[in-house]
A and B are shown apart, each in its own frame.
Chain A
Amino acid sequence: MDEDVLTTLKILIIGESGVGKSSLLLRFTDDTFDPELAATIGVDFKVKTISVDGNKAKLAIWDTAGQERFRTLTPSYYRGAQGVILVYDVTRRDTFVKLDNWLNELETYCTRNDIVNMLVGNKIDKENREVDRNEGLKFARKHSMLFIEASAKTCDGVQCAFEELVEKIIQTPGLWESENQNKGVKLTHREEGPGGGACGGYCSML
């Protein structure tokens, strides 16, 4: 079954506690919304295979807890991730203000710099919006991230967010194929040196 999977990608979801990270993930993997979802302890993990542009990719998604005290546990999961989804709650400005901290953490713990980042403004179904769409857009542009607004409750933008992210990862050269790269691609090595009189040998006069 895994035969036709192009690659396995590691995706990380981060953001302040209660912004709806686990809900977004649940919506994406199981297409449900569970208001009874407990606050995440440490990290949680889900798998889903999706196909983008005819390429099947298996996603291993790590959902981290937003609580301050758990954060010391999570840096390990930044390692080797190819994509990061950074979530804030459009109805709580403080979760938007804290984004800078999260980016700092990303910078500190990510092992590579070509990783694809996506900013998601969640809970747009709610009425008491505190963060304007344009603010989100501006922030994403400033930090070269993908941006989308979504609602785990109504399903808006969720599928699209993940697909977009995966597509971008697949388009980034060297980000995902690295493990298989060695099989097909041959490094062009230096031309065989002056062939010591063989017919192919280039030489200077003497």
Chain B
Amino acid sequence: MAADSEPESEVFEITDFTTASEWERFISKVEEVLNDWKLIGNSLGKPLEKKEDYILHDRPFKMKLNSGKEHVIKFCLKMNILIFSLLNVFVDVIPQSMQDLLCMNNDFPPRAHCLVRWYGLREFVVIAPAANHDAVLSESKCNLLLSSVSIALGNTGCQVPLFVQIHHKWRRMYVGECQGHGVRTDFEMVHLRKVPNQYTHLSGLLDIFKSKIGCPLTPLPPVSIAIRFTYVLQDWQQYFWPQQPPDIDALVGGEVGGLEFGKLPFGACEDPISELHLATTWPHLTEGIIVDNDVYSFYVGDFVTEFFKICRRKESTDEILGRSTFEEEGREIADITHALSKLTEPAPVPIHKLSVSNMVHSAKKKIRKHRGVEESPLNNDVLNTILLFLFPDAASEKPLDGSSSTDNNNPVSESEDYNLYNQFKSAPSDSLTYKLALCLCMINFYHGGLKGVAHLWQEFVLEMRFRWENNFLIPGLASGPPDLRCCLLHQKLQMLNCCIERKKARDEGRKTNTSDMYPGDAGRAGDQLGPDNLKDMDKEKGEVGKSWDSWSDSEEEFFECLSDTEEFKGNGQESNKKGGPKEMTSLKPEGRLYQHGKLTLLHNGEPLYIPVTQEPAPMTEDLLEEQSEVLAKLGTSAEGAHLRARMQSACLLSDMESFKAANPGCFLEDFVRWYSPRDYIEEEVIDEKGNMVLKGELSARMKIPSNMWVEAWETAKPIPARRQRRLFDDTREAEKVLHYLAVQKPADLARHLLPCVIHAAVLKVKEEENLENISSVKKIIKQIITHSSKVLHFPNPEDKKLEEIIHQITNVEAIIARARSLKAKFGTEKCEQEEEKEDLERFVSCLLEQPEVLVVGAGRGHAGRIIHKLFVNAHRLTESSDEAAAMAPPEEELKRMGSPEERRQNSVSDFPPPAGRELILRTTVPRPAPYSRALPQRMYSVLTKEDFRLAGAFSSDTSFF
């Protein structure tokens, strides 16, 4: 338009939505899209789906190319083509879409775009309003759109049908057009909520079809009819869904009690299969579909999902439980923290440990008492049951037995399932952490939600402190240093256990004063020293920071050994820098572990002893992370490297001191032969007398003057491990862990434990699948495991990815539940004949995996008989209802096809009425005039209880008319 070149009119255009040019632009846009998408000419076999948005007026439209996808026709039914070609020599000239109208392969697809279902089309373009509120409601607008479509098709020569969606979206109303050379098909639609009487039976529909065609020929060419009735079975008479929600009271009251906390429930809360659709298609097919119940609610899935939701909560435990519960105890708490801070302060006065633990313990009791029953999110019974489940040792008189924590005689411990924790970075399925995760999950679901979770966690933390204060090992944790393959929380608990173990050994050693072993080496047999040892200890008491068991010492951190060594140097104590063996030999050997083979000391030939050494400090992954960061920060320069080595030499120094204590008068060479034998090089040489002798010396790298090994050796004093400063300060580490635990919010907790919960859910699903043996599910579970192990190994997995995993697990659960439901309904277990049983099992598994399954042998097959019986039983119950009258049984319906006026016989049928009836009428007739080309005509109707739809595609010859 000329207006386009004038700036003023452009402004004008923007404000005036009704200008003709806007519509013209719209048309040209449509044409452009059709061209872009290469829909011009014969277009079959083009790419499947494309989308483009366009704004017409203020109204955005979407254009979408759609193809029937999997319903692509492979061959046409011969009969139709035959009729068609006899009548029409130009058969291949008409557009593919028009031919599709007659093709029966797209009849009644199980799942397809509605336009495929209604018109049998394989390819079409839809112009639809982009949003619900943009619906095209007025007739004039509708016509305008349709005429733009018509123009665009005409201009481009596109043979793909173009549809416009009109009315409200939910009505799924489409009108459209398809153009070919001299031919056109109009697609029309009627959609009604109330069904006019004449549409309820075949003859009425035939009348409509004929009148629509307005065929000038007599007699009318044959109309082919395809019918499909769908029966819906919703009443499962002989089968009750057995899944009951777990009995919460039983959990608390019964003896089984706590056991239930360790297990995830499984299955669907309701029957996961709500409907069975049976479709009968005339003349040749009988098909069945299952429809899944939409109100999904599955146990495992819900559990995990609900638990996962906690991750998004921001509240702290205190906020959730309400500040009030703590206000009263505020003073006491302050006392405790004060006491504790004293405990960790470097104070020369040893605090009487017992008093502290008493305070904490009594405070704990008070907190419990104060909160009272009605205020507690968890009632006492539930709480006690859970605590007993988590800490079974609490039931016995002496809960401190360490063996419970180390027992690894679990029969499954080596199995693949057991080692899953490795992949999920969760925790072993028999561990405290895992159990805790399940309990929190259960609490969250059944007992007070978030509050319950916060409450249980608080109790758990108190229990941890109680155990630390009283030297009770925590049960359900593998002994030894934290297992880095497990989740951080598990590592923290293991760390706490390490601390308890060392403190316990130390306290016991102190009590008896006879055992002289270093606590960390409790297992090793140490050489027993006389009671004079005690004197040594007393002597050392005065020296702050010297003796390893000094309470007040919190300075030692592994990288602070620099000051450490300097302190030693400056101390000027009986310096053995010169390494004078003579003065040293006079010292009494201390802290010997055992003799090192046949090795003897170089200078005096005494046996060489391996000393009792300090155990290296256990570490959790976050500590290790911190440490390696510190080390890396030192950089790569020579000084950096030197400093790094120094920071890590505490262990070396401690070992050297122990060695010196155990082997008075030894040399560095002696030490190296034990510690790094490859750095002591022995050579056979011939001495002056001509004998072969072994001559040894330090390796070149050990001989470098002032290398760190030599330096450390010169600094080291002969001190046995038990009197050295602790390399690992269990007091401080325990307090750090306890603090860490105390500040975890429920959200943090949920994140920590989610891997355990997912782990448990996967195990549960796997276990249930084993019972059903569904191969597709096996595969999915494997995928879930690999997927989860990838996601969970990263420090902060994205919520979306976690949700995805949970969703996958829920899906698997749904499939299994559905399989169970179907198996029960079809009685596959009860089936006695082997062959029949196999048949049924195959049928059931097909139902699970395919949208639609052919019922082999229809009503006479095994499955068919059962389906029939199911329907009959359901029908008997509703027979009295007169709804049956509205929908005729199939035989009758077929009968009436011939004689439409015949009144419906009220014959007694054992079958319920169909829930939906679909009908396709087809013919090929010349339109609009008798001498026009014969073209395909098609009408589809679907009738359900409250919905009726007619979709007609009527073609006409446009060239000679």
Contacts and interface: CB of A to CB of B under 8 A. Distances in A.
A149 interface: no
Interface string B215-249: 00000000000001010100000000000000000
A76 B793 contact: no
Interface in A2-47: 16-18, 29, 35-47
Interface stretch (B258-266, B335-343, B643-651, B881-889): B643-651
A45 B630 CA distance: 11
A199 B64 contact: yes
Interface string B101-126: 00000001011111001000000001
Range of interface residues on chain A? Answer: 35 or more
Contact of B616 (A35, A73, A182, A187): A73
A40 B702 CA distance: 11
B707 interface: yes
Contact of B648 (A17, A73, A79, A197): A73
Say whether chain B's binding surface is mostly helix, strand, loop, or mixed: mixed
Given A39-B709, A197-B169, A205-B916, A45 B631 contact: yes
Interface string B146-175: 000000000000000001010001111010
A72 B794 contact: no
A33 B648 CA distance: 24
B860 interface: no
Contact of B701 (A39, A111, A199, A200): A39
A76 B628 contact: yes
A81 to B, nearest CB: 11
Nearest to B642: A38
Interface stretch (B344-352, B675-683, B840-848): B675-683
B424 to A, nearest CB: 12
Contact of A70 (B651, B801, B916): B651
A20 to B, nearest CB: 11
Contacts of B641: 44-45
Q: Top 9 A-B pairs ranked by shortest CB distance?
A: A42-B648, A76-B624, A199-B128, A38-B707, A197-B170, A18-B678, A72-B616, A41-B645, A197-B172
Interface in B593-636: 613, 616, 619, 621, 624-625, 627-628, 631-632, 634, 636
Contacts of B425: 111
B632 A73 contact: no
Given A39-B679, A41-B649, A174-B790, A206 B916 contact: yes
B126 A76 contact: no
Nearest to B945: A206
B395 interface: no
Contacts of A68: 675
Contacts of A72: 481, 616
21 contacts: A16-B678, A17-B678, A18-B678, A18-B699, A35-B700, A36-B700, A39-B709, A43-B631, A69-B651, A70-B651, A70-B652, A76-B484, A92-B678, A111-B793, A199-B64, A199-B163, A200-B64, A203-B113, A203-B114, A205-B916, A206-B944
Contacts of B624: 76, 79
A39 B710 CA distance: 11
Contact of A17 (B613, B649, B679): B679
Contacts of A46: 636
A44 B642 CA distance: 9
B704 interface: yes
A2 to B, nearest CB: 15
B804 interface: yes
Interface string A69-91: 11011011101000000000000
Given A41-B648, A198-B169, A201-B172, 15 more contacts: A29-B636, A36-B704, A38-B709, A41-B645, A42-B649, A62-B628, A69-B655, A79-B624, A92-B678, A111-B485, A112-B793, A198-B128, A199-B128, A204-B110, A205-B916
